[in-house]
Homo-oligomer: A and B are copies of this chain.
Amino acid sequence: MTLQEMGARAKKASRALAQAGALKDKALLEAAKALVAGQQEILEANREDVAAAQENGMSESLLDRLTLTESRIREMAEAVEDIAKEEDPVGKVLSGGVRPNGLKIEKVTVPLGVAGIIFEARPNVTSDAAALCLKAGNAVILRGGKEAFRSNRAVVAVLREAFEKAGLPGDAVQLVEDTSRASAKELMGLTEYLDVLIPRGGAGLIQAVVENAKVPVIETGVGNCHVYVDENADVSMAVEIVFNGKTSRPSVCNAVETLLVHKAIAPQALPAISKRLSEKRVELRAEEKARAFLPDSVPASEEDFKTEFLDYILAVKVVDSLEEAVEHINRYSTGHSECIVTKSLESAEYFTSAVDSAAVYVNASTRFTDGGQFGLGAEIGISTQKLHARGPMGLAELTSCKYVVRGTGQVR
């Protein structure tokens, strides 16, 4: 099937989904059951993907992301169930009132319509993304990576059957069969059908989307996150916040990549942080002033301050002032999550207002930037742009709005 045809089918399905109400929850509960019931087919498809990936020399950490197990499928099913239990984001009245001429105006939430999602090797994204889109009344066209294609196809087949069983169109979720770069690029130009494109992946994918997309895009998931240790920080708190941010899960977008330390506290803070990070053998890449306190570090290049390592590597810099720290962050950050460790109210206020990122922390780990941790429910990604959605993007951000105006013949 061509992408144009898939687009037309998705558009048609989206009209039905927009009116589906509680049927959506029924379909999601069906889908959760069906994932567990259909796990043999899914696991078999996944074994083929994993075998092919091993042959092609995929790294251990990527193989781990790709591999499904019974317990991982159960988790996928539970995530779909949880989404069914969330409140319907469609049909909420955001504001409204009666105008002096008697017009009754309501601003109500509606689905976005058709979403395109380009993602990489994790097959659980397939069920998560499809469930979130369905709950928000959107049809979705998924274009996953070729490494997970057989797994994704098996998951999508199960979901489509479950949605149809509940009385909703199977075309609520479609998988692009062509996993070439050309298909991704074509999806980016599907202006007639796509209301939004959400790329989930590394900096390369995001950049390709920014360069090529003609449809509206929400950039997600690239996090060059910073911790700044202010001159009067609690050093032991700074140690734990940096350690947690860097080492609790280095492969995720809210992990810390750069540490900035005020010069007045560097002599105490840097050796203490370095000692704690050495427990996990974190490589420190430090600029000159910082290296004075970090004998085991290697010299940092400017490139290091631009890099999302997603690994046990941390760039380190000593700064002369809070202002310099904020300038560095606003220059190098991807706008995801940044933290100040400080006891000063003034520093905290300055940092939170001047740092231009989706989430700005005072005395807490950047690892909390997550829909669940923020109490917002499941998320489809962390938006690092400023239009439409910023930070964790959940069901509310998968909707748009519409003005409904009721009159009795008013003219202007």
Q: Interface on A for B, CB 8 Å cutoff?
A: 15, 18-19, 97, 99, 103, 105, 107, 110, 112-113, 191, 195-196, 210-211, 214, 216-218, 234, 237, 240-241, 243-245, 248, 330, 348, 352-354, 356-365, 367-369, 373-375, 385-388, 390-391, 400-412
**Residues of B close to A195: CB separation below 8 A:** 385-387
Q: Is the CB of A386 within 8 A of B211?
A: no
A110 to B391, CA, bound (A): 13
Given known A-B contacts A353-B18, A387-B218, A402-B359, A97 and B375 have beta carbons under 8 A apart: yes
Name the contact of A365 in the complex, choosing from B19, B330, B401, B411 (C-beta under 8 A). B411
Q: Is the CB of B364 within 8 A of A410?
A: yes
A410 to B352, CA, bound (A): 17
A248 to B411, CA, bound (A): 9
**Residues of B close to A402: CB separation below 8 A:** 356-360, 390-391
A253 to B354, CA, bound (A): 39
Q: Is the CB of A407 within 8 A of B363?
A: yes
The minimal Cβ–Cβ distance linking A268 to chain B, given in whole angstroms, is 17
The minimal Cβ–Cβ distance linking A309 to chain B, given in whole angstroms, is 19
Q: Is the CB of B356 within 8 A of A408?
A: no
Q: Is the CB of A211 within 8 A of B214?
A: yes
Residue of B nearest to A391 (CB): B403
Choose among A352, A357, A400 the residue with the greatest number of B CB atoms under 10 Å from its CB: A400
A interface majority secondary structure? mixed
Q: Is the CB of A410 within 8 A of B368?
A: yes
**Residues of B close to A217: CB separation below 8 A:** 216
Q: Is the CB of A353 within 8 A of B19?
A: yes
**Residues of B close to A363: CB separation below 8 A:** 406-410
Q: Is the CB of B353 within 8 A of A412?
A: no
Given known A-B contacts A196-B387, A359-B403, A390-B401, A240 and B364 have beta carbons under 8 A apart: no
**Residues of B close to A330: CB separation below 8 A:** 15
The minimal Cβ–Cβ distance linking A109 to chain B, given in whole angstroms, is 10
A-B contact pairs, 8 of them (CB 8 A): A105-B374, A216-B387, A352-B404, A361-B406, A363-B408, A364-B407, A365-B412, A368-B405
List 6 A-B pairs, minimum CB-CB distance, nearest first.
Answer: A364-B407, A244-B411, A386-B400, A388-B388, A367-B412, A237-B409
Q: Is the CB of B240 within 8 A of A409?
A: yes
Q: Is the CB of B412 within 8 A of A373?
A: yes
**Residues of B close to A210: CB separation below 8 A:** 191, 214
Q: Is the CB of B387 within 8 A of A387?
A: yes
**Residues of B close to A196: CB separation below 8 A:** 386-387
